[in-house]
Amino acid sequence: MEDCIFCKIIKGEIPCKKIYEDDMVLGFEDINPTAPIHVLLIPKKHIKDINEIANEDLNLMAHSLGVIKDIAKQMNIKENGYRVVLNCGKDGGQEVPHIHFHIIGGRKLNWPPG
């Protein structure tokens, strides 16, 4: 995916503030944080959105949830709580077409979202 900014971050062509990395996923700080802690976790495989998750990707998604738990601990938001957001498509507010989990915390978050 040559034009995908998140694929470029994975390849090191665009810099990021890395929080976590393994062979399957990369976690980095959101460039425009909406809370004191705002981390994005992306699979290294280019998957456009939730609708494009194949059965063979389900292990990757489960792995991502396990990593999110570890990142929450690493960022010291585990105890107070946090929100994990997966926007999908136009109405869902997805701007970058490479699936990504937002991990947001460090303050009391409003609910419900708009």
Site string for ligand AMP, 51-90 (x = CB under 6 A): ------------------------------------x---
Q: Which is nearer to ligand AMP, 32 or 55 (CB)?
A: 32
Place of tokens 């995908």: 4
Q: Could you say whether residue 30 binds ligand AMP (CB under 6 A)?
A: yes
Q: Could you say whether residue 93 binds ligand AMP (CB under 6 A)?
A: yes
Shortest Cβ 56–ligand AMP spacing (Å): 23
Q: Could you say whether residue 11 binds ligand AMP (CB under 6 A)?
A: no
* Nearest of 33, 104, 95 to residue 72 by alpha carbon: 104
Distance (Å) of CA 33 to CA 19, 38, 40, 48: 14, 5, 10, 22
Task: Give the span between the Cα atoms of 68 and 72, in whole angstroms.
Answer: 6
Q: Could you say whether residue 19 binds ligand AMP (CB under 6 A)?
A: no
Which pair of structure tokens corresponds to residue 48?
């456009």
